[in-house]
Structures are given as structure tokens and as C-alpha cells.
Amino acid sequence: MRPLTPRKILGVCGVLFAVLFVVVVVSLRMGAYPISVRDIVMTLFNGVAGRREQIPSEFWLVVFGLRLPRIALGILVGAALSTAGAGFQALLRNPLADPYVLGVSSGAALGAIVSLVIAPHVPGLIQIAAFAGAAATIAAVYFLGRRGGQLDSPTLLLAGIVSASFLSAIIMFLMTTLSGRDLRGMAFWLMGDLSSPAAIDLRWLYFILLVVLGSIYTTSSDLNLILTGEQEARHLGVNVNRVKLVVYIGASLLTGLAVSVSGAIGYVGLLVPHVMRMLFGTDYRLLIPASALGGAIAIVIADTLARTVVAPTELPVGAMTALAGAPVFIYLMRRKVR
């Protein structure tokens, strides 16, 4: 096997970036409001150059007001969820681990719902509450999953699954006892929905995403070693506890971030890292950036389909990821076996 070179990492990331760019342009083109590719390119060009007066206001509204924020939100959510999934899979050395299986998403959703019930219109509170929910869940799962002082992977997964169903039950209870206007939004939100804009400025969320991605990335070569076994990694001089702490906190933050703006979008955290592993190998120095970009591509495609397949009505993007994700995964798995 050839060693991983920086050239390869940059090459793969470049290719994925190009794919993401193409997907974004195609996604900008699709929608209920008809705009030609030429007009989109013109609008984008003038918009980035700051010459807003030269754009017809309708184009500005559709491209910069509706489609681009939604795509930006999709990129954010996809990158956050799949990076979190990749991180959890490495830490637990279990291919099934992902924010949903571990209950982190349910915890984030519960936190977000509680914040919506208590103070619906405070910007930023929902993100904080979602992160608090995610962090509290992962802490609880972490302690439940310990056996004899050591973190036991199967026990941890079981603890995660149990917490996930427990938290979902609490969410169901809250949704049944509370009613009125918020309930309707929540029902959509629980299915995963990108149609409502985030209450907080997206740039702050991107800022957090970048910081957390960067900090998880600094642990990537340690994660490679942890994959071979915690004892082995420890013997090779890896500060396992510290790496675990960084990745757990980072992945919880990412999950909280994604859930707070988009609700529960399933499958991405599980699928994308696996697909990337099948395509580019298991080295985490490549896998983490590739997962982030791949997750972004996957969500943008899924959301584009969700808003165009049955236009003018919209599907929840969570349904789309599951619908499109499962066959792709099975195909790749079969191909790998052969």
C-alpha cells in the first residue's frame, strides 16, 4: 500500500471541493423559480463583487435570499454530522457508531426542544441548549459504557442505544403534552428540515465548525493508532484520554450544531464516513477532511432532491437521505465484497 502523501490529501480534497462546487451550482439552478445558468453565474459574480444594483432584485432574492443560505446550511450540517460520525467510529472502534446510534442527536434534539418550549425567540439559545443536550448525553453514555474502569465498546453502544430510545420517548411525551403552534414546527424539525433559516448568523456557526474540525483534525494521526487498539496506542505514546476528550467534546459540539439548525437528519453520520473509507482508505488524516466534504455534498444533493422531486411541495431532507443513502451504501458494500 502506498503511503499517504500530502499531495494525495490535497488532491482528494481538491477533487471533492470541485464536486461540491458543481453540486452547489446545479443545486442553485434547480427550484420552483426558473433561472437560467447564465443568470445564476451573472448573479453570483455580481453578488460576490458587491455590485448588487446590477442584479434584478428577484434573482437576488431567490439566489442570495433563498437558495444560497439553504445550501450553506446544508454544507454546514453535512460536514458537521459526518465528521462527528467519523470521530465516533474511530474512538469506539465500531463501524456502527454515529451520532444517532449513540443518542447524541436525541440528546441535542431534546435540548433544542426544551429551549424552544421555554424561550422560543432567543437567538443562539437553541444552539447552546442543543450542545448542552448532546454533551450531557455523551457524558452519560460514556459513564454508562464503562466497565471496570475501561471503556467497553459494546457496552457503550448499548448504553447509547438505550439512551437514544429513552430520550426519544421523552421527546414524544413533551410533544404530546405540549401543543399549539410550536408543535407543528417540531414535527417537521424531528424529521430533519433545512427549509427554515437559522435564527443565528450562519457565519458564527461556520466559525465554530471550522474551529472544531481543526481541533479534531489535529488528533487524526492519534486516531489512526487508536484504531489498532487503545493499549497499543498508549504504548506508542499517545495520550489516549486526551484524544478521547478532544474528539468526544468536538463531536458533541458538531452534533449539537447540526441538530440545532436542521433537526434530526439521519444516515449521514453513519454512511458518509463509510463511503469515504471505501473510496479513499482508512487513514484518518485523509478521512476527516474527506468525510466533511463528502457529508456536505451528500446533504446538498439530498436537499436539492427534497425540494424539487415533488415540487412545489417539499419533502423533509431526512427522508431523502435515508431513501437515497441506503441503496448507495448497499451498492458500495457489495462492490467491496466482490
Q: By CB under 8 A, what part of segment 208-227 binds other proteins?
A: 209-211, 213-215, 217-222, 225
Is the CB of 50 or the CB of 149 nearer to other proteins? 50
The only residue of 1, 3, 36, 203 in contact with other proteins, by rule CB under 8 A: 203
Contacts with other proteins, 65-104, as mask; x by CB under 8 A: xxxxx--x--x-----------------------------
Bridge partners (DSSP) of residue 147 are 150
Is the CB of 98 or the CB of 193 nearer to other proteins? 193
Least distance to other proteins, CB of residue 302, Å: 16
Is 111 within 8 Å of 117 (Cβ atoms)? Answer: no
CA distances from 31 to 7, 63, 75, 265 (A): 38, 10, 18, 21
With contacts defined by CB under 8 A, name the span among 81-89, 231-239, 272-280, 318-326 that binds other proteins: 231-239
Residues between 153 and 172 that touch other proteins (CB under 8 A):
none
Residues between 177 and 196 that touch other proteins (CB under 8 A):
177-182, 184-185, 188, 195-196
**Amino acid identity, position 225:** L
> What residues contact residue 322 under an 8 Å CB cut-off, 6+ apart?
266, 267
40 binds other proteins (CB under 8 A): no
Least distance to other proteins, CB of residue 187, Å: 9
Reading the block at residue 140, the C-alpha cell is 452519560
Give the integer Cα–Cα distance in Å for 73 and 270: 19
237 binds other proteins (CB under 8 A): yes
With contacts defined by CB under 8 A, name the span among 86-94, 138-146, 233-241, 325-333 that binds other proteins: 233-241
Is the CB of 72 or the CB of 112 nearer to other proteins? 72
Give the integer Cα–Cα distance in Å for 330 and 167: 29
Is 205 within 8 Å of 257 (Cβ atoms)? Answer: yes
Is 204 within 8 Å of 51 (Cβ atoms)? Answer: no
201 binds other proteins (CB under 8 A): yes
Measured between its terminal Cα atoms, the distance across the chain in Å is: 19
Contacts with other proteins, 5-34, as mask; x by CB under 8 A: -x--xx--x---x-------------xxxx
Q: What are phi and psi of 265, to 5 degrees?
A: -100, 115
With contacts defined by CB under 8 A, name the span among 54-62, 97-105, 138-146, 165-173 that binds other proteins: 54-62
Give the integer Cα–Cα distance in Å for 76 and 153: 29
